[in-house]
Amino acid sequence: MDIITMIIAALFSQNFVLVQFLGICPFLGVSKKIDSALGMGIAVTAVMVLTCLVTYPIYAYVLIPLKIQYLYILVFILVIASLVQMLEMFLKKFSPGLYSSLGIYLPLVTTNCAILGIAKTVTATVSEGAIVSMAFSLGGAVLSGLLYGLGFTLAIVLLAGLRSKVDKLNIAKPLRGFPITLITACFMAMAFYVFTLVA
């Protein structure tokens, strides 16, 4: 796959949040301020890259040879949960500054559907005939983790920017909170939809 096509797909036309609806909970929950949205985005991107790096070999070299692919949900969720826990401990020990700014988002990332979603997406390509091209190799898996993570960051930071303006307006009472956020996201999704037509 052409790398530019891959970048456009991950950031816009196949955007995890606005097109595939993965990771909506943090998208709605942690998008009040741009700073926290950026922190969440970076945490998700980092965990996505790590997840791809670990789950892809586990699926290709452990689950498939043992013919226990059907256990992938259990294995992936355990691997991801322990991975996030380890990352948290590592940051706490070696980079307290980074920990204080990103640490609070890490536990939330474990139960983010975007993480399990990317693991499922990159490993689904293995079971369908194991074609060795860039998108299906380990490097491709890690790259797509990074790009989809950046797509998530882009969407959540943009929404936080919009919300910081929208929340100051005088909005009808029943629309305050989630409804107006969802309607804002609706207009963002429309803008991103244009890229699906291009691609």
Partner 1 sequence: MNFKKIKNLALDGLVKQNPTFKLVLGTCPTLALTTAATSSFGMGIAVTAVLIFSNIIISLLRNIIPDKVRIPCFIVIIATFVTIVELAMNKFLPDLYDSLGVFLPLIVVNCLILGRAEAFASKNPVLDSALDGLFMGLGFTAALTLMGIVRELLSSASIFGIQLWDPTVFSIKFFGSSAGAFLTYGVFIALFTVCYNAIENKARRASAQKALAKEAE
122, 84, 120: which is closest to 104 by C-alpha? 84
Closest to partner 1 by CB, 18 vs 91, is: 18
Closest to partner 1 by CB, 160 vs 185, is: 185
Instruction: Report how far residue 83's alpha carbon sits from residue 43's, in angstroms, rounded to the nearest whole number.
Output: 13
- Kindly state the number of chain residues that form the binding site for partner 1, as judged by CB under 8 A: 41
Closest to partner 1 by CB, 61 vs 178, is: 178
Instruction: Report how far residue 145's alpha carbon sits from residue 160's, in angstroms, rounded to the nearest whole number.
Output: 22
Unique residue bearing structure tokens 């990332």: 109
Q: For residue 8, what are the contacts with CB-CB under 8 A and spacing of at least 6? A: 195, 198, 199
Q: How far is the CB of 97 from partner 1 (least distance, A)?
A: 27
Burial class (CB in 10 A: 0-12, 13-18, 19+), 54: middle
Of 30-38, 54-62, 129-137, 177-185: span binding partner 1 (CB under 8 A): 177-185
Q: Which of 5, 89, 187, 199 binds partner 1 (CB under 8 A)?
A: 187
Using CB under 8 A as the binding rule, whether residue 155 contacts partner 1 is answered as no
Which residues inside 117-146 make contact with partner 1, applying CB under 8 A? 117, 120-121
Burial class (CB in 10 A: 0-12, 13-18, 19+), 123: buried
The half-sphere exposure of 159 on its side-chain side, counting CA atoms within 13 A, is: 32
Which residues inside 1-40 make contact with partner 1, applying CB under 8 A? 18-25, 28
Q: Which of 53, 58, 162, 193 binds partner 1 (CB under 8 A)?
A: 193
Instruction: Report how far residue 199's alpha carbon sits from residue 185's, in angstroms, rounded to the nearest whole number.
Output: 21
Q: How far is the CB of 198 from partner 1 (least distance, A)?
A: 15
Q: For residue 31, what are the contacts with CB-CB under 8 A and spacing of at least 6? A: 37, 156, 159, 160, 163, 181
Which residues inside 53-112 make contact with partner 1, applying CB under 8 A? 70-74, 77-78, 81, 110-112
Q: Which of 113, 134, 146, 162 binds partner 1 (CB under 8 A)?
A: 113
Using CB under 8 A as the binding rule, whether residue 185 contacts partner 1 is answered as yes
For partner 1, the binding residues (CB under 8 A) are: 18-25, 28, 70-74, 77-78, 81, 110-113, 115-117, 120-121, 174-175, 178-183, 185-187, 189-190, 192-193
